[in-house]
Structure 1
Amino acid sequence: MDLSVMFFGADDASAGHAAKYGDILAIAKAADQLGFTAVWTPERHFQQVGQLFPNPALLSAALATATERIHLRAGSLVLPLHHPLRIAEDWAVVDNLSRGRIGVSVATGWHSRDFVLAPAAYEDRRERASRDLALLRRLWAGEAVEFTDGAGGRVAVTSQPRPYSAALPLWTTTSGSPRTWEAAGRMRTHILGATIGQTRDELAAKIRLYRDAYAAAPNQPGAPPEGTVTLMAHTFVAATDELAREQAGGPLKAYLRSYVAQTAANKQGVAGSQGARVDALSEEQLGALTAFAFQRYLSWGSLIGSPETCRKSLADLADLGCDEVACFVDFGLGADDVLTSLTRLADLSREAR
């Protein structure tokens, strides 16, 4: 099993954004030297959570010049917010800077506020994402594709610069819907999911659904014979379980609380009316909900604990059919704590391969 590092965005920037970017560079360099497979950076807009990450291509370009072997991936890129030509151009630059160390996980987007950047794309964002993913593959392969130009005419253009890699490694991001797992298999992309918010049995069923759909799907340009299942998990490895939970407990609870508040701010919520229900909770109820989520997550799905506890968790995820764990490290811990945890995790990474 591969282990990678994922940034997703804690909301504390009291030390300033410049200092936070310095932390990201330091952690990415350490992950590169310690042998991790990849660094994932997301796309987030106009939110407290994730405020450092408006453009994964831009940050990955910086990381490409600061690292040597680690892969640099968008986790995730909100496809309906962008013209596919812009995506092909930007990531071809990063691909060349990194000498072929890139990957992109595409998402449909979910928060209505993100679509300030493209309000007309919100309602049919799922259809747009599916259409543009196929188009992105064609552009990456060097195919001339027709678009409307400034004079209203149709013109065939080829994306430039040409990428270093012949194929663009693509993931589909899922928030948990079985339909998305199946769709990713049909499109023959890898898949980026998360352990949180579902039981072990539910996750096992979704992985089987994805594998079956992938095996039955026709070949796609640049797609490998088998897809990669990447699962995100909050990660902090300490000397003992007690120390890990003590150090990670406060930051993770605060992060979960901020994430719930962000969900409440979405006009439609995650599932239509969920945002309204969360928004109606009192502070005491919200605190109790966060504490419950934290305890449940510790029981299954996280990599928070001693090396032995995390070793067992990794073995369990491998048994489920997981190929890679994207270790979510920036949920509020200090950079020094994250770096210490990564050193311990590197030993587990070598064992897990």
Structure 2
Amino acid sequence: MDLSVMFFGSESSVAPAEKYDDVMAIAMAADRLGFRAVWTPERHFQEFGQVFPNPALLGAALAMVTERVEIRAGSVVLPLHHPLRVMEDWSVVDNLSRGRVGFSVATGWHARDFVLAPGHYADRRDRAHRDIATLRRLWSGEPGTYEDGAGELVEVLPQPRPFSGELPLWLTTSGTPATWVAAGELRTGILAGSIGLNRPALETNIKNYRRAYEGAGDVARPGSRGVVTLMMHAYVAGTESAVRDRVREPLGQYIRSYVAQASSNRSLAEDRAMASLSEADQRRMVDFAFERYMSENSLLGTPDRCRKTMADMRDLGVDEIACFVDFGLERDEILDSLELLSEIGASVS
């Protein structure tokens, strides 16, 4: 079972400079311990994930302090950016890392993010899916034709050229079944959240993804079936009670930060409904979500329990688990947990 490290912390009590120190230390440990990749997100204008506005910029720093771990974005909100800009940024990181980059494409969710590209919100899904094909062409060395400042169509080839010949891509989903099928049809990997997905739903989504991937066809890569990466909160300790006692408060705060972010998104009906919840209802929601995290689809628990979860995910067709680690724990606690996760992952073949 491949394991990677996923960052997406929400805590506001840690100074940004200290948070970046934590990210560097954890990434170097992941590199040393044999984790497959380190993922950093793209978030804007919110407390939730506040230190991650640019995964390419942070990825460049990570490339300089690691040697083998892959440097990935989970995710690039593609409709916010011109594909030429994305291509140039990630080509720099690819050269700095000697070919270790990859990223997952997100279509975007929060309307406030789109102050960066307000005209791109309504058709953000179509834009993201279209620009995946554009990025692949640009990465392979095919120039693109665009309108310049004088209103003329010009052919451009982004520079620098990437170190590697192919850009590994995923498509991010929060659980929508159609996105799993779209990822298969686009021949990308799928980066999926685990919470809210019960085992039968996850199994169905993976089967639909594999079917769509195989149906899209690729004579250059016969037998390829795509990559399923599942995001899970992760913290391993000796006893269930020790884990529960340690993660209850930070994980509860993490959930509350997410609820606050969702409540501020007035563009989606389900998020507007969340904003109308009373304080008591929000507390009940947080308590319910905490129990779901502890009992389903997470790597929160003892080594034996986490080993069983990894094996179960492997049997369902999951190729990689991206371990959420920065939800309020101290750096030393995260590093100790990574040691255990590395050992457990190595035992689940």
TM-score computed with the length of structure 1 as normaliser: 0.97
Partner of 2:11: 11
Q: Which amino acid aligns with 2:156?
A: V
Q: How much has 1:318 moved relative to structure 2?
A: 0.7
Cα distance between partner residues in 2 of 1:221 and 1:151: 40
Cα distance between partner residues in 2 of 1:245 and 1:8: 20
SS in 2 for 1:44: coil
Counterpart among 306, 309, 312 of residue 313 in structure 1: 309
SS in 1 for 2:288: helix
Q: How far does the alpha carbon of each residue in 1:37-82 deviate from its partner, in whole angstroms, 9 at most, with x for none? A: 0000000000010000000000000000000100010000000000
Cα distance between partner residues in 1 of 2:220 and 2:146: 21
Asked if the contact 1:137–1:221 (Cα under 8 Å) also holds between the matched residues in 2, the reply is no
Q: How much has 1:221 moved relative to structure 2?
A: 8.3
Cα distance between partner residues in 1 of 2:197 and 2:127: 27
Moved segments of 4+, more than 3 Å: 220-224
Q: How much has 1:276 moved relative to structure 2?
A: 2.1
Could you say what the CA RMSD is over the residues aligned between the two structures, in angstroms?
1.3
Q: Which amino acid aligns with 1:328?
A: F
Residue 287, structure 1, aligned to residue 286, structure 2: no
Counterpart among 272, 275, 296 of residue 292 in structure 2: 296
Residue 136, structure 1, aligned to residue 132, structure 2: no
Cα distance between partner residues in 1 of 2:170 and 2:223: 12
SS in 2 for 1:256: helix
Partner of 1:122: 121
Q: Which amino acid aligns with 2:261?
A: Q
Partner of 1:340: 336
Asked if the contact 2:307–2:345 (Cα under 8 Å) also holds between the matched residues in 1, the reply is no
Q: How far does the alpha carbon of each residue in 1:87-138 deviate from its partner, in whole angstroms, 9 at most, with x for none? A: 1111011001001111110010000000010000001101111111100000
TM-score computed with the length of structure 2 as normaliser: 0.98
Q: Which amino acid aligns with 1:236?
A: Y
Q: Which amino acid aligns with 1:321?
A: G
Q: How much has 1:9 moved relative to structure 2?
A: 1.8
Q: Which amino acid aligns with 2:2?
A: D
Asked if the contact 2:310–2:345 (Cα under 8 Å) also holds between the matched residues in 1, the reply is no
Residue 167, structure 1, aligned to residue 163, structure 2: no
Cα distance between partner residues in 2 of 1:242 and 1:80: 43
Asked if the contact 1:188–1:223 (Cα under 8 Å) also holds between the matched residues in 2, the reply is no
Q: How much has 1:231 moved relative to structure 2?
A: 0.2
Cα distance between partner residues in 2 of 1:105 and 1:148: 27
Residue 278, structure 1, aligned to residue 277, structure 2: no
Partner of 2:60: 61
Q: How much has 1:153 moved relative to structure 2?
A: 0.3
Q: Which amino acid aligns with 2:63?
A: A
Partner of 1:52: 51
Distance 1:255 1:49, change over 3 A: same
Cα distance between partner residues in 2 of 1:115 and 1:280: 23
Q: How much has 1:222 moved relative to structure 2?
A: 8.6
Q: Which amino acid aligns with 1:296?
A: R
Partner of 2:348: 352
Q: How much has 1:186 moved relative to structure 2?
A: 0.3
Cα distance between partner residues in 2 of 1:349 and 1:314: 7
Partner of 1:326: 322
In structure 2, stretches of 5+ residues that fail to align are none
Identical positions, percent: 57
SS in 2 for 1:74: strand
SS in 2 for 1:278: helix
Asked if the contact 1:189–1:223 (Cα under 8 Å) also holds between the matched residues in 2, the reply is no
In structure 1, stretches of 5+ residues that fail to align are none
Cα distance between partner residues in 2 of 1:159 and 1:216: 32
Asked if the contact 1:100–1:165 (Cα under 8 Å) also holds between the matched residues in 2, the reply is yes
Residue 239, structure 1, aligned to residue 238, structure 2: yes
Q: How much has 1:282 moved relative to structure 2?
A: 1.4
Asked if the contact 2:40–2:73 (Cα under 8 Å) also holds between the matched residues in 1, the reply is yes
Q: Which amino acid aligns with 1:31?
A: A
Asked if the contact 1:171–1:191 (Cα under 8 Å) also holds between the matched residues in 2, the reply is yes
Q: Which amino acid aligns with 2:146?
A: F
SS in 2 for 1:164: coil
Cα distance between partner residues in 2 of 1:7 and 1:243: 23
Partner of 2:91: 92
Cα distance between partner residues in 1 of 2:241 and 2:152: 65
